[in-house]
Structure 1
Amino acid sequence: MALHSYGTNPQDWFAWLGERLPLSGDVLEVGAGTGELWHRIGHRPRLTLTDFSPAMCARLREVPGARVLRCDATHLPFRTGVVPAAEPILAYIASMIGSLTAAQEASARAAIEARIDAEGTFRVRKHTVLISATRGSR
């Protein structure tokens, strides 16, 4: 399915997303599919790509320098604390309103982590996308 091939926005999906990705550091993409994004953008941080499908993982291995893991998105093979729980939510907030100041990020992180500690999860539903952060096993 060519999900991102049709649109009325003058900027395509990959260019828009590429502008919002970090230029360095570690990036984890869960459900990376074919890895098309990483073939289209110029910068490449330290990259871990995951997908459940063996066929998609084979395609992901074509992305230069990427670490590829076949796994279920609900059972990622990382120790608790390796992928900070609040990161998906903070990235979502920044994508909607722009970069956060250090004080805003600290405040948002504290609120998100408090809710994760109290309820075990923090979910944001925007249209058909579900962004979720979970405490994981302790």
Structure 2
Amino acid sequence: MTDAVKLTCATCGQTNRVPVAKLTAGPKCGSCGDRLMTGNVAELDMRTHDKATRTDEVPLVVDYWAPWCGPCRMMAPEFAKAGKALSSNARFAKINTEDFPGVSQRLGIRGIPLLILWHKGREVARLAGARPAGEIEAFVRKAAAVRS
């Protein structure tokens, strides 16, 4: 295991190198100062999405959603709960497929909500449909071998 991991700041898009031992201590972006591992769900734009899914070395769970989607809105608080529960082991983010339709086309997304777990530049697993927090947590733990 390496001594440090790469994390993309959801606010400014800067790649940061963070010592593994400091992941639970609230590391901050070296460029803008925002916290990198908050447990909150970050809203991504296309540029930051692409950079984070390519470079992040901590599991990143992205919710592909749209505001008109009832199941997407229903799942949002559950996704946030799962993000808090796994805050020291994974990062949670979402991207609006209505604002960024190219992401759906590129990733072959046929239905939303859809969760994709990314790790070290590759797609690890997908989970379709609205899910409760417990199922989302179990999905992340299994797919990324994350401990709680």
Instruction: Name the TM-score, length of structure 1 as normaliser.
Output: 0.28
RCO (CA 8 Å, sep 6+): is it higher in 1 or 2? 2
Report which of the two has the higher share of strand.
2
**Max radius of gyration: which structure?**
1
Instruction: Name the TM-score, length of structure 2 as normaliser.
Output: 0.27
